[in-house]
Amino acid sequence: MTRRKLVSGNWKMNGSLGALSELDAIAEAAEAHAGVDVAVAVPATLIAPAVARVATLSIGAQDVHAADKGAHTGCISAAMAKEAGARFSIVGHSERRADQGETDADVKAKAETLHARAMQAIVCVGETLDQREAGEAEAVVTAQIAASLPEGATGAWCAIAYEPVWAIGTGRTPTAGDVAAMHGAIRAKLRAMIGAEAEKVRILYGGSVTPDNARELLHVADVDGALVGGASLTAAKFVPIIAAAD
């Protein structure tokens, strides 16, 4: 089946009120390329002003806590993110798995709380360089899918982002053949878990996506879009990636 491409930016711990002016041209590109869904996950402090500035663009959070409220200093709940205007959140990004020690169970719980709040989730999975070189990449990633995929996952609210950890921010990318093989393995795992609904789940590629490699990556089999880090910080770099998806 044909799935709409989704191109989502992830500003990580970057940005300011002044930087929100970049969203103007990004929103214009989203309107010009109506066949592509465009989203940007901004720091929590920028969610509300970003939504106020570009109401037509899907603005999201970069993480949420699994609990609705409580003694979790420094965290943000899905309800809080939604109240600020977020429509979705990334969960399980490799940087949080590594730096904050998040487990597959944590990621699954966060995705489930997003669903409970009628928000969309982008669930991240990916392997390290050591795991790839050991020939374990597909086994590692499919195991993460098995343990991280939320209950009742459907394509309407859940997407998967495959991000080879060794490619994020390094300028290195797998070959198109490697990406096709991994996305195919993810699709097969989804079919085994959720049956026909797997055909509706979008699988994004994330890992040093740039204007130069976007067209090739975005038209690999089973690649339904991209999760873009550094290149999403400016319209000059992000807009060509949106165009490449169309």
Scored b (16 or more CB within 10 A) or e, 39-58 reads bbbbbbebbbbbbebbeebb
Contact 29, 211 (CB under 8 A): no
Q: Give the Cα separation of 123 and 111 in Å (integer).
A: 7
Structure-block tokens of residue 147: 């343990």
Contact 24, 32 (CB under 8 A): no
Active site residue: 93, 95, 115, 127, which one? 93
Q: Give the Cα separation of 86 and 97 in Å (integer).
A: 22
33 catalytically annotated:
no
First to last CA, the chain: 17
163 catalytically annotated:
yes
Q: Which residues are catalytic, by number? A: 93, 163
